[in-house]
Structure 1
């Protein structure tokens, strides 16, 4: 009788598995992941920087006013604004205004001149994210500059805008979602100017900037 009961239980159990398809699927636990806000990949940004400008003028021929070369260094403030399309490309505009600085421009009387340089540039900005926080980038575009310097003998010589291809390289570090610090070098302009007031001069303006950007 006991064997008959055990056999009946076994038959019923097998029948149940057969009706259910014969498979027992394990129940996977549901793991809930915390919500994470997506990283900011684009948007408008503005910034400001302090840096050092170098004005270099190499004259094609000697004149009664200057020697054949001029090399002047001075401080400058720069403001920038741009738009990031994605982590790899942006467009940016910059305006830099120099702080007046007294430099020996090679006047034959041995006097010095107060020199200021205002510059602007429009750039395509290729970027490469080295880490989540560190970016390296290039600046490729068009720049223009205006150099003003005093004539100690009287009057002021002011160059017209000198423009041409402009480029730069740099890196930035984002210490929050919105704020980043940057350092870069740019060649704002390097071109030949044949106007009378510059006596056939190759003019180049370079700068190094330390600044901060805010992305909206």
Structure 2
């Protein structure tokens, strides 16, 4: 009984919430490939989409993703080994989405908003002498956060009353980690959304 009562309350609450939200709220999943104008600095992420459809043409959208790939380099010698790793910890976007229908179920849209990216770095190594004794060992961790204007265009297709698939391309804030010049940062996203 202790389990059934909370379960019943949760189901009733979910049914009420679904009716209250009607078709204004949508959730989904995304996969994102990011390209930076620097060798070895491409990131892939996966995450979720949360949106609110204000009307047929305007929506507000939040996207939250974490890294699925990154940079990993290892150097090994007789008396020395070193590894370096970097990956996307969290990337979040708050976006205004302006949609224009071009055919039945097919829309084009523009995105503009704020994107914040946090990348984590890890460097560790060990050096030994001729006898195999450790003479130097280090482990450094740091992170870098960049935020700013992001914008892009996309296309979406409504499969039925609830499911939509989409693909879009965005320009993200320039990638500038302690270097002399900024590097352009772009992303291509594919995903789907479920409208309640």
Same fold, judged at TM 0.5 (above):
yes
String of CA shifts for 1:12-70, please: whole Å, max 9, x gaps. xxxxxxxxxxxxxxxxxxxxxxxxxxxxx9611111012212345xxxxxxxxxxxx55
Number of aligned pairs?
156
TM-score by length of 1: 0.62
String of CA shifts for 1:125-145, please: whole Å, max 9, x gaps. 111111120011111011111
Whether contact under 8 Å (1:53, 1:98) holds in the other structure is no
Q: What secondary structure is seen at the aligned counterpart in 1 of 2:103?
A: coil
Aligned to 1:91: 60
Aligned to 1:179: 163
Q: Which has the higher strand share?
A: 2
TM-score by length of 2: 0.68
- Structure 1 residue runs of 5 or longer lacking an equivalent are 1-40, 57-68
Aligned to 2:186: 206
Structural RMSD (CA): 2.9
- The CA distance in 1 between the partners of 2:170 and 2:47, in whole Å, is 12
> Pairwise mapping of residues 50-129 of structure 1 onto structure 2 (< 5 A)?
50-56=31-37, 71-103=40-72, 113-117=84-88, 118-129=90-101
Whether contact under 8 Å (1:72, 1:103) holds in the other structure is no
String of CA shifts for 1:108-141, please: whole Å, max 9, x gaps. x9x7632211211111111111112001111101
Aligned to 1:147: 119
Q: CA, structure 1 residues 165+130, in 2 after alignment: closer, same or farther (shift >3 Å)?
A: same
- Structure 2 residue runs of 5 or longer lacking an equivalent are 1-21, 74-79, 126-138
- The CA distance in 2 between the partners of 1:78 and 1:204, in whole Å, is 22
Q: What secondary structure is seen at the aligned counterpart in 2 of 1:86?
A: coil
